[in-house]
Structure 1
Amino acid sequence: MPRTDNRRLPRYTAGEVDVPYAVSGHGEVLELDTVWAEHSHPTHELLWNERGVSSARVGARIWSVTPKLGLWIPAGVPHSGRAPAGTWHRAAQFRVGSAPGPAPEPVAVEMTPLLCLLLERLGTEHLAPEARERTELMVTDVLTPAAGEFFLTLPKAPLLAPIVAALREDPADGTTLRAWAGRLGVSTRTITRAFVGETGLTFSAWSALARVQHAMTLLARGERVDEVAEQVGYSSASAFGTAFRRATGMGPGQFRPR
């Protein structure tokens, strides 16, 4: 049995395919680590999880998708995704023209209990047309951008490619800025300017964010906080917890399955 389920979907432009409902959705518990190659939908899409943490890449940004933080992707926007085995993946499709959506570009959406209940109701079989229409209107009314969002911007500068590759391959890589400068034959200031120019973050801030994003997936799998801290390069669970709270506003324990 393959260890990864690689899925390929078509590329559609916005509104290219007509759909029967203003809002429709589906859910799936993933048995394998799953990768969706880059694709686009004729509908707007809202991604979230009932369980687990997944990621979606749109352009240079990698967004974290959780049970509390969904991602709105406008119709026709190319994106790809990854989710570990055991994730309870959810998606809702919104017909173009049925609602303005929370934003004309990808944006994080707070998955409030009310929004989740309304989306669940739309999945009920034999829902009367009038009831469906009312529920769809309520969904679009409460669908708003989240107060906070969590994404990692991947810099495109060739100079930074070895650094990005190393940290994405091994988040525990502890190579310092000075050591990277020596390897690449440039000054630390040059690397810092490149990171800030492309991501808005310094090398250390970007590295911390990359580690936290990886940690979110490990925590959602049920791994212990102290074990995750070691895997992403922190010497203690307390230091990891501080960095995690600074990046997400929540403690690492909140991402472990209950």
Structure 2
Amino acid sequence: MALDGDTPRGQDGRWAENDADPILSTPLGLAIDPEDPDEAPMNRVVSLQLGAEELGGNGRLGVMTGITGTGKSILQRTLVNGLAYRYSPQRVNFILASCFTWRPGVCPLADLSRHPHVLHVSRLIGFDYRGGFGQVDWDGDVFWDAVNREVERREKIIRDGYSDMADYRRRSGPMPDLVIIIDDLESLPLWQPEMVTKLNSLIRRSANLGVYCVLSSIIINQDYLRSIKDEIGYGVTFGSYGASEMEFIAPREVENLTPSTGVGFFQTSRGEVEKVKVFEGVGGGS
């Protein structure tokens, strides 16, 4: 399967070249001068580096926030398409949880299942932004089964004498890293202790298992955000909704950011801040 406009030979050659990278790298968009009122993109690419911070990566947990329509789903699609374009399914896999909202038939990540890298897509149903919280209905058991199956497979590898997935790849052959994206985190019942326990367990267990988590939401409950503060490696914030409370993942400049689709701030735990215009599709993806 070649991505749009790509030949199988070109794809396989690119994958073979990139799969040896110790860090998963993919472009997010073009940098913008924060002082430029026209928000004109500069000729400089801003990239996400999924890997351990001690190796120059951006860590294992990312958080995205922003009001509806400002670019969270665009960025998630860009992330998946970009990584699937650069790396083979033997180097990176995905488990995705995407949300049907009040917009009829809209499930922003569902069609990404066309990539052979995608192991599972769960659909969150029932949150209505116009009317507040409704009944949440989603295939949660299937989602957690898919996640636990992969996590437990990796934990068994560690028990067999490997220090992490990179060590396994060096000594025994291919083993893909796993990127888990939960779109619209507010649709999950985080008021239920069981759900918080599952999510926190996933974040804690991911340390040496080659698992990367991306949590996306309009705004994340501050008590929950504080509970995972030390795990957050990077954040991307679109628009200004709740910016004054987003100090863990958003620079103060966000408070003055006029919502503009696909324009946000990317900040790492090292304090690096970039204003960025997100690419809409990478490497032939949509």
Greater relative contact order structure (CA < 8 Å, 6+ sep): 2
With normalisation by structure 2, the TM-score equals 0.25
Q: Specify the structure having the higher radius of gyration (Cα).
A: 1
Structure ranking higher in helix proportion: 1
TM-score, length-normalised on structure 1?
0.27
